[in-house]
Amino acid sequence: MTQALPKLITFDEFIEWYPNDGKRYELHKGVIVEMPPPTGEHEKVLGFIASRLTVEFVRLNLPYTIPKTAFVKTPSAESAYSPDVLLLNLDNLRNEPLFQKQSTVTQAASVPIVVEVVSTNWRDDYYDKFGGYEEMGIPEYWIADYAALGARKFIGNPKQPTIFVCQLVDGEYQMTPFQGDTAIASPTFPELKLTAQQIFDAAKY
């Protein structure tokens, strides 16, 4: 007896379906995924990273913003992710066909940095979103694993809280881990003064 495969949906169908029920959903390779409810620690880390990046682009007078809610639609699979922190380049949004009506970007030129704060569904951040953002060509992707939830092959044994800065080099992400009081090196903001520990501490206060 064979089991029928679930029907995959398109991005357009996903946007048309999206309910106003207070929950967050993403489209993962044609499958609607309900995102786990955020914890207080997760939101504090997210807010801290967003505030520090905001200080940098305001200081440099760059045409950037961080929206409350937006989707990143990846090129090949029918996937649309809602990043924890999405740094947008306002100058390129006029070239985005889906942004005005659907708050969705499809071009790497619109996204200087994307950040995912790792939750219990850590495989999404280390595998699916890693591959999607890499394929799209987003130049800088942070994985903020403040609770050390990822696999030991990524964050060590015993597991250690880690921030990964993934820089696009020749079409592939090069992952650089930062732990403890190590200063985070951001290609987009080379003068950024921020340590991994400062991000981890943000979860505690």
At which residue do the structure tokens 């939830």 appear?
A: 149
Contact 119, 38 (CB under 8 A): yes
pLDDT, tens only, 88-126: 999 999 999 999 999 999 999 999 999 999 999 999 999
With respect to residue 146, please indicate whether it lies within any of the assigned structural domains. Answer: yes
With respect to residue 122, please indicate whether it lies within any of the assigned structural domains. Answer: yes
With respect to residue 6, please indicate whether it lies within any of the assigned structural domains. Answer: no
Domain that holds residue 54: 39-202
Q: Domain tally for the chain?
A: 1
Contact 93, 99 (CB under 8 A): yes
- Output the domain CATH number for residue 169: 3.90.1570.10
With respect to residue 5, please indicate whether it lies within any of the assigned structural domains. Answer: no
DSSP state of 182: P
With respect to residue 16, please indicate whether it lies within any of the assigned structural domains. Answer: no
DSSP state of 183: B
pLDDT, mean of each 10-residue run, the chain (205 residues): 69 94 94 92 97 98 96 93 98 97 97 96 95 97 97 96 98 98 97 97 91
With respect to residue 87, please indicate whether it lies within any of the assigned structural domains. Answer: yes
